[in-house]
Amino acid sequence: MPEPEARQAPGLARALVADLHDLAVDLAVGGYTRTTLAMLERDLHRCAPSALGATITLDRGPHHVHVQAHLVARVLQPDEVCSALRIPLPMSDRAVDASITLYAAAECAFVDLAADLADDLGVTLDLATALPDRPIEPGIQGLTDFTTVNIALGHLLNRGRTLPQARDELARLAQQRNTDVARAARLLLDSS
Amino acid sequence: MGSAGRGSVAIAELRGQLHGLARRLHEDISLDGSGGVGATLLVEGRPVFGGSNGFTEAVDEVQYRLEQGPCLAAVASGRVVRSRTIGDGERRWALFTADAAPLGLRSVASLPVRVADRVVGSLNLYGQHAASLDGASTPVLRRASATAGRGMTAAWLLAVAEANARILTDAVRDREDIDIAVGLLMDRYVMTSGSARVLIAQLAAQDDVSKAAAARSLTHSDAAPPSASVSRAAHDRA
């Protein structure tokens, strides 16, 4: 039975909590997240003893920067990870495509969990989840690009664009320069 | 969010998962149409339950409200608890029986659900006839209990993952609103991002709202133009 230990600093969560502080998240929400991360860490090990951690990915479409929260206690090298399982997470906000990818050191570590999720809970899984091909660093990935894009959007808003128009303009600039929206945002800010 | 609210997102997700699990177990055990299956997971000692139908949910509501009944007895004893005389002579759990019998409950079978030899919850079968559960033999129930244990562990992991994703989504949205307002202020008042963030914090404190709410008041398309005090503060900071 899961018994969250809210006051115990969870190893996997430490780096993420620091990033959440940087996210200027309300402190109470940060505390909640620490609790839920502690739950996640313990229950992940319960489901797969060789578990190394997980990544939560938030994807809001091509005009948005992907944000990934890597819940790992240390940098994971690709050759350490022998199993991965991506589980889509239903969100009430349909604009957000969220998923969690679990990592483990043992091969086939998530076979039982995958069966339980699929058979008992009817969850549709990505059974061919690719193993990571680059190191996974603790914390939130994509925040710098995310902020750059948002600040550029703010500049465009001040120049009379609506938010959708500003996003379209950044996307067009990225396409014209054959780059991504984050670099396009940087170009726009540099020219301001 | 107060301590009472902590985990409530995950609990809500978990309840949904337990509903699904109970419905699947109901099909697997092949109960007659009048009965139902409830799956209960203990989280921090408190029961979180989901039933395969409204009848089951109602019975479980009674049980956990009164803190008395076959499921709690099964968890406490670690053994299978059965009755086919609810409302017809059953003397255990008098309070529970008095409230559950009018719902139509006549028979129950509750068994503890274990994970790694530890009782983590219970699986409860409820029938509206004395003989409703006679076909559910103890070996069948034990197999269902093993399935339930794994399913509940997976359900909880999924619920916690969903709660984390939801919290992160909210955090990212707040961050986005603040960043966009920072960009707007930087362009309007030719100020640094640091100064813009301080200004947003000041506005939030002044209006007693969160920084994200203050930021949204600046960037919403229908937002009023910045007040004279904002402009003054911005010019002071620029």
What are the CA-CA distances from residue A64 to residues A60, A76, B201, B208 (Å)? 6, 26, 25, 30
How do residues A2-61 score in pLDDT, each as one tens digit?
333 333 333 434 444 444 444 433 333 444 455 556 667 777 887 788 999 899 898 888
Q: Give the C-alpha separation, B1 to B59, whole Å.
A: 31
DSSP code, position A119: I
Is B175 close to A153, i.e. CB distance below 8 A? no
For residue A162, the chain B residues in CB contact (below 8 A) are 221
In chain A, residues with a C-beta closer than 8 Å to the C-beta of B169 are 58, 91, 93, 96, 98
pLDDT of residue A26: 35
CA-nearest of A14, A41, A90, A68 to B9 is A90
**Which residues of chain A make contact with B12, given a CB cutoff of 8 A?**
none
pLDDT at B9 over 60: no
Architecture of the domain defined by A145-190: Orthogonal Bundle (1.10)
Q: What is the mean pLDDT of residues B219-233?
A: 61
Q: Which of B1, B2, B24 sits opposite A120 (nearest CB)?
A: B24
Q: Provide ipTM, 2 decimals.
A: 0.75
Q: What is the pLDDT of residues B126-146, one digit of tens each?
A: 999 998 888 888 888 888 888
Predicted pLDDT at B137: 84
% chain A with pLDDT above 90: 41
Q: Is the pLDDT of residue B29 over 90?
A: no
Q: Using alpha carbons only, how large is chain A's radius of gyration in Å?
A: 19
**Cβ–Cβ gap B165/A116 under 8 Å:** no
Distance from CA of A33 to the nearest CA of B (A): 7
Q: Quick one: closest CA in A to B213, which residue?
A: A26
* Pairwise pLDDT comparison (B169 vs A168), residue with the higher score: A168
Selection from A41-45, B2-6, B78-82, B222-226 with the highest mean pLDDT = B78-82
- Look at residue B14 in the predicted model and tell me its pLDDT: 79
Domain spans, chain A: 14-141, 145-190
- The pLDDT, as a whole number, for residue B135 is 82
> Is A56–B166 a contact, with Cβ atoms under 8 angstroms apart?
no
- Half-sphere exposure (CA, 13 Å, Cβ side) for B189? 23
pLDDT given at position B159:
75
8 Å CB contact of A151 and B162 = no
Chain A CB contacts of B162 under 8 Å are: 89-91, 98
Rounded to an integer, the average pLDDT of B170-187 is 91
pLDDT tens readout for residues A80-120: 999 999 998 877 777 888 899 999 999 999 988 888 888 77
Does residue B231 register a pLDDT over 70?
no
Which domains can be identified in chain B, with CATH numbers?
8-162 (3.30.450.40), 190-237 (no CATH)
Average pLDDT over residues A136-162: 91
pLDDT at B108 over 80: yes
Write down the pLDDT at residue B146: 81
Query: Are A24 and B174 an interchain contact pair (Cβ–Cβ within 8 Å)?
Result: yes
Q: In what order do the strands lie in the sheet with B107-115?
A: B46-51, B36-43, B118-127, B107-115, B81-83
- How far, in Å, CA of B106 to CA of A147, rounded? 61
Under 8 Å between Cβ of A14 and A4: no
8 Å CB contact of B160 and A40: yes
Smallest Cβ distance to A32: which of B6, B41, B121? Answer: B6
Answer whether B182 sits within 8 Å of A58, measured CB to CB. no
What integer is the mean pLDDT of A181-185?
Answer: 94
Among partner residues B9, B17, B180, which is closest to A157 by beta-carbon distance?
Answer: B180
Higher-pLDDT residue of A42, A190: A190
The average confidence (pLDDT) of chain A is: 79
Give the pLDDT mean for B189-207. 92
